[in-house]
Structure 1
């Protein structure tokens, strides 16, 4: 039976593996006839791995923080704008001409749900939390399906009528990254309509 590659792919696993490799290799230097330069090279590689992966993790954390702050700001601004627009549209002086001037009249939705498919976007919030967004269009919402790493098929996750949807399931293995695949389909009057969305793959970080 063929063996899998010994060199780990996930960064967290690679760091653990390389730390072990470095320590045990140094302890067996004489056994394997290795030079001091060989050991120094492995030590240097180990330091570089920790530095570069640490930089990536820090940048990812900063990006997630910035994304969360932007999303919160956008949601707050949208709430204030919508409240103000409701007041404007209820005012006696309001007209469609003024609405067009202010850009507060939506274009006609010509979507045919029987041929349509949702477009899913997702942001990993770490620890298994994923924020999924979609455009509702003329539908009543979407049914969301998910396949986690190691699962044989997609399973029904949730029905959501107002975006975003937050998948807050914990990681299958605490501290270990996992891939999640999502797809969704529109619903109308409790029935699924249209086509399933393209798969959205999210890498969930610990």
Structure 2
């Protein structure tokens, strides 16, 4: 069974989890003192940026950017170290549970699923297309309008919702559009196409 990411998504949860990991890690399963020092330094750095994001509104934007960069660096360091720990002969599931580095629950299996695409007419040819991203990089959205011989790749959406801003084909006449989508992961389509969504776009 696929496991969910063991690193918490929310910054506050990550902050508490990272502090626990940094304080709990010992020189076992191939972990060195240098590894611990580097991890604790990354934790201190992230913690300081977390504090900065709540200190003053004037510094919020820069502090947030610094915090994001700090988290990316911290996650890279963590994942590299955890891969080494889990590959070591001394590693046990109990150790993983104690350190909090085992994912819990089911992960959405993108290879065997499809996006659930929802469309809402915004008039003037605009259509709001929403979906659940899960851990994908986004979706490729395809569209077929009246007169199209085949599906046309409309866009790659990385955030939901995506708004199709194309005007109607004929002024004053509704557009009948058909949409479908497929998940993207590492620049490759994955899984199955969504069910077709048909919508009449008001002019």
Give the number of the structure with larger relative contact order, counting CA–CA contacts within 8 Å between residues 6 or more apart: 2
TM-score (ref. length: structure 2): 0.50
Select the structure of larger CA radius of gyration.
Answer: 1
TM-score (ref. length: structure 1): 0.49
